[in-house]
């Protein structure tokens, strides 16, 4: 298994997990266990964090190898990183397909944890052969009837559009920094450290606009101030926005954002030189 395949696999896992985590909002509304559900989001995203620990150094090796091979291999690196972006898109799409099944599983997990209060017991229960069989049987494709009720009526649209941008920027932050470092190898450490100038924009939008709006709709549904179906709609549109962000916008912005990181790197090099 080559490095690109490994990176794509873990990128797929990261975005699959993040996409499924959106479904926890629906489980929170249905169980009315908001705090437990949000803690489960953190637990679920541990898979994403662990995958990133494996993926990141391999990406670094791929970049260093490309630099040692000359400009031809650097250009080949760009193609490889586009495959990584594609893996992110496929992971997101798979998460959308699996969300209905995992909403049921999350709901059962929340109730069991509420009753027993032990994550270790919950994990032990989930790993039993009989439980694994139940999990497999619970897997199902989304029902067509759900798509018929999709509507943006009564849902703020600005944060949904911003979610697309946020997703694209998060997907590209590190990749653009690595690509810029490959084009300017003498300052690649500086370029890699500048991934934050891409991710930072995404963090600001996510913190100020996307997360609060989604949380507000979820809380309103829990307190019977809004139809719980609105939460399902929001989750779908957030996931679909993530799919568009990783599948289309990230591919379009890859070179422009790489050029942006490269420009800042050159500016810093001139400033300190």
Where do the domains of the chain lie?
A: 3-272
pLDDT score for 273:
65
Find out whether 243 and 93 touch, Cβ atoms under 8 Å.
yes
- CA pair distance 22, 20, nearest whole angstrom: 5
Average confidence (pLDDT) over 243-270: 95
Q: Are 132 and 218 in contact (CB under 8 A)?
A: no
Q: What pLDDT was estimated at residue 146?
A: 67
pLDDT of residue 82: 97
Q: Find, among 18, 15, 27, 21, the residue nearest to 231 by Cα.
A: 27
Residue 148 reports pLDDT greater than 80: no
**Claim: this prediction has a pTM higher than 0.85:** yes
Alpha helices in 117-157 (DSSP H): 119-126, 129-138, 144-148
Tens-digit pLDDT profile for residues 71-121: 889 999 999 999 999 999 999 999 999 998 888 888 888 888 888 777 888
Q: Are 260 and 169 in contact (CB under 8 A)?
A: no
């Amino acid at each position: 298994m080559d490095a690109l395949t490994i990176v794509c696999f873990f990128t797929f896992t990261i975005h699959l997990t993040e996409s499924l985590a959106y479904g926890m909002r629906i489980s929170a509304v249905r169980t009315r266990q908001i705090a437990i559900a949000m803690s489960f989001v953190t637990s679920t995203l541990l898979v994403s964090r662990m995958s990133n620990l494996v993926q990141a150094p391999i990406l670094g090796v791929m970049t260093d190898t490309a630099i040692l091979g000359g400009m031809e291999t650097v250009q080949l690196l760009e193609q490889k990183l586009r495959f990584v972006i594609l893996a992110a898109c496929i992971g997101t799409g798979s998460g959308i397909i699996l969300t209905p099944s995992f909403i049921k599983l999350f709901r059962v997990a929340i109730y069991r944890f509420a009753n027993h209060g032990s994550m270790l017991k919950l994990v032990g229960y989930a790993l039993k052969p009989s439980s694994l069989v139940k999990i497999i049987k619970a897997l199902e494709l989304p029902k067509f009837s759900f798509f018929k009720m999709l509507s943006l009526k009564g849902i703020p649209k600005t944060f949904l559009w911003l979610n697309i941008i946020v997703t694209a920027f998060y997907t590209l932050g590190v990749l653009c920094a690595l690509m810029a470092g490959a084009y300017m190898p003498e300052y690649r450490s500086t370029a890699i450290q500048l991934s934050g100038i891409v991710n930072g924009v995404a963090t600001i939008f996510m913190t100020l606009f996307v997360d609060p709006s989604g949380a507000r709709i979820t809380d309103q549904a829990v307190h019977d101030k809004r139809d719980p179906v609105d939460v399902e709609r929001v989750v779908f549109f957030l996931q679909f926005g993530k799919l568009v962000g990783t599948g289309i916008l990230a591919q379009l912005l890859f070179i422009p954002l790489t050029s942006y990181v490269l420009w800042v790197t050159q500016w810093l090099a001139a400033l300190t030189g």
